[in-house]
């Protein structure tokens, strides 16, 4: 790998030559990088290779589509626009990867970027498939930490070969597992990208699975399960109790940590009827908001925040499912634990222990010890990335029902402490903000959706920060209904939050200002 990295670096400093024909790129090979095919895609209508059969074609500019293999089995595609802006954007994966995310490449391509995506070294039946991991440690390592780095080196080599010039700036953007990939890059491979966007990152990967997915599976297994109508009832009750705490009644909790609504208020007086929660359901909701703890009461992983329950991207999708046993644990949670951690397709999540028994380690400890070094990206030391001028823009939906929002806040604050000592060190916070900013998005669910103003242009904000040293104090978010923007709101750099000025429409960003809570 060191030899390959040296060759890639050598290509980046060689004198530029003229752009070559797309078809000639298929002759390119470098150490273990092979361009399997390269074809020109004409401007106009294009069907994304991974789109469903009933999906409509998209519109693209003319580009060279290179299908690339990093031997032995890491696949990627590099899309090279004819009208190139001299920059490169790599995009991340969701779930357990196993696919090239063509849809995420479309936006950068249309903006003139060379762009790439990888399957991280394995092909999955879907992004919930974990069967590829059994007996394949190299695949596990590529998925856990190395795949994006390999993609970045190979993509830059292909870009240089095609255009005769290296990109002047390189960026990465991803959400969920892609957000975890982003933080892996800045921690382990700080020279790969000049700027990185990490969305809703599941960067404490082992605890996300044990403390979120498996915790959810156990909590929602049996009498604690909530049917969809009760999830909606719960979400409505939370909003009724807490929506006005931020001074604006708009269906969005500005900071759900200030909401202390207790689901016991919905306890059935007798029996189980659709308009209330049973005792088991009340306790299940409390556990989801609280998060798992060990025998000493220490929190093992943050619970979910109040406010992310209702809606199509809420608990029905990620926590409860539409029927018993159909929540996220049946998708992402169990395959990873069965095939990667325990290497046993018959493993039963009901046996998982959060407490130590007779002095023996808990199952949480076991998972941490076995795969934490491969998967977890929680190192607060970002000094190498900072030293080379890298910029990190992280965001997280404050109503995320999958990756707990507090996970991002905790990581950000750990970096502040690593830089300057205590959490309240004002100087350390200012130094952190020079290269790393966190944006908590009220009302946004997992990587989008929800009642909040969750659509925003993070790439432009990152470009301006990297290329013009214009740090983003805020970005403007939009809420869209049926293709129409019906609300805008500033999304503020943490710990700031959007405060209503007191006059004008609460659906217009100009009537809000970023201020400390």
Q: Which residue is listed with tokens 């293999």?
A: 69
Residue 483 Cα distances to 47, 57, 117, 358, 404, angstroms? 21, 18, 27, 58, 28
Distance between CA 511 and CA 157 in Å, rounded? 47
Alpha helices (runs of H) in 177-314, residue ranges in sequence order: 177-188, 205-208, 214-219, 228-242, 279-290
- Given the DSSP bridges, would you call strands 436-441 and 391-397 parallel, antiparallel or unpaired? parallel
Maximum Cα–Cα distance for the chain, whole Å? 79
Task: Choose the catalytic residue: 102, 400, 408, 479.
Answer: 400
Residue 400 falls in the annotated catalytic set: yes
The answer to whether 261 and 238 are in contact (CB under 8 A) is: yes
Q: Which residues contact 474 (CB under 8 A, 6 or more apart)?
A: 490, 491, 492, 493, 496, 514
Instruction: Return the SS3 of 392.
Output: strand
Distance between CA 190 and CA 176 in Å, rounded? 20
Instruction: Return the SS3 of 246.
Output: helix
E strand residue ranges, 141-180: 169-175
Residue 446 falls in the annotated catalytic set: yes
Residue 176 falls in the annotated catalytic set: yes
Distance between CA 249 and CA 247 in Å, rounded? 7
Task: Choose the catalytic residue: 149, 208, 213, 446.
Answer: 446
Distance between CA 232 and CA 315 in Å, rounded? 9
Task: Choose the catalytic residue: 116, 117, 170, 176.
Answer: 176
Distance between CA 491 and CA 137 in Å, rounded? 41
- Which residues form the catalytic set? 176, 400, 446
């Amino acid at each position: 790998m060191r030899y390959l990295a040296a060759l890639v670096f050598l290509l980046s400093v060689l004198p530029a030559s003229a752009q070559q024909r797309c078809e000639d790129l298929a002759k390119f090979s470098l150490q273990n990088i092979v361009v399997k095919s390269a074809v020109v895609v004409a401007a106009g209508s294009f069907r994304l290779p991974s789109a469903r059969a009933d999906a409509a074609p998209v519109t693209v500019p003319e580009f060279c589509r290179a299908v690339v293999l990093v031997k032995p089995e890491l696949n990627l595609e590099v899309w090279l626009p004819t009208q190139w802006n001299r920059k490169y954007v790599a995009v991340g994966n969701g779930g357990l990867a196993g696919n090239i995310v063509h849809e995420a490449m479309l936006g950068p391509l249309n903006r003139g970027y060379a762009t790439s995506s990888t399957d991280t070294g394995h092909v999955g039946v879907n992004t919930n498939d974990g069967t590829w991991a059994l007996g394949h440690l190299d695949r596990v390592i590529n998925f856990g930490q190395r795949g994006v780095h390999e993609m970045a080196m190979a993509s830059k080599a292909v870009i240089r070969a095609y255009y005769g010039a290296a990109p002047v700036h390189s960026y990465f953007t991803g959400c969920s597992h892609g957000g975890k990939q982003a933080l892996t890059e800045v921690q382990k491979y700080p020279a790969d990208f000049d700027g990185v966007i990490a969305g809703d990152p599941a960067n404490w990967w082992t605890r996300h699975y044990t403390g979120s997915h498996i915790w959810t599976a156990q909590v929602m297994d049996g009498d604690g399960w909530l049917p969809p109508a009760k999830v909606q009832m719960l979400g409505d009750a939370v909003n009724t109790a807490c929506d006005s705490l931020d001074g604006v009644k708009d269906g969005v909790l500005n900071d759900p940590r200030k909401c202390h609504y207790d689901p016991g208020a919905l306890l059935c007086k007798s029996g189980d009827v659709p308009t209330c929660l049973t005792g088991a359901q009340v306790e299940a909701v409390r556990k989801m908001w609280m998060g798992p703890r060990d025998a000493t009461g220490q929190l093992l992983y943050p619970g979910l925040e109040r406010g992310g329950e209702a809606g199509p991207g809420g608990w029905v999708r990620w926590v409860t499912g539409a029927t018993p046993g159909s929540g996220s644990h049946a998708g992402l949670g169990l395959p990873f634990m069965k095939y990667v951690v325990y290497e046993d397709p018959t493993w039963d999540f009901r046996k998982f222990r959060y407490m130590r028994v007779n002095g023996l380690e808990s199952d949480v400890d076991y998972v941490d010890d076995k795969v934490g070094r491969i998967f977890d990206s929680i190192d607060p030391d970002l000094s190498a990335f900072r030293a080379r001028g890298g910029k990190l823009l992280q965001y997280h939906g404050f109503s995320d029902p999958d990756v707990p929002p507090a996970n991002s806040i905790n990581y950000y604050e750990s970096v502040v402490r690593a830089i300057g000592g205590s959490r309240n060190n004002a100087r350390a916070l200012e130094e952190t903000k020079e290269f790393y900013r966190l944006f908590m998005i009220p009302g946004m669910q997992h990587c989008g959706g929800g009642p909040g103003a969750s659509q925003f242009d993070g790439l432009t904000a990152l470009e301006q920060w990297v290329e013009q040293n214009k740090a983003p104090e805020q970005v403007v978010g939009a809420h869209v209904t049926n293709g129409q923007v019906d609300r805008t709101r500033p999304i503020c750099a943490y710990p700031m939050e959007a405060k209503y000025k007191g006059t004008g429409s609460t659906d217009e960003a100009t009537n809000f200002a970023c201020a400390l809570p």
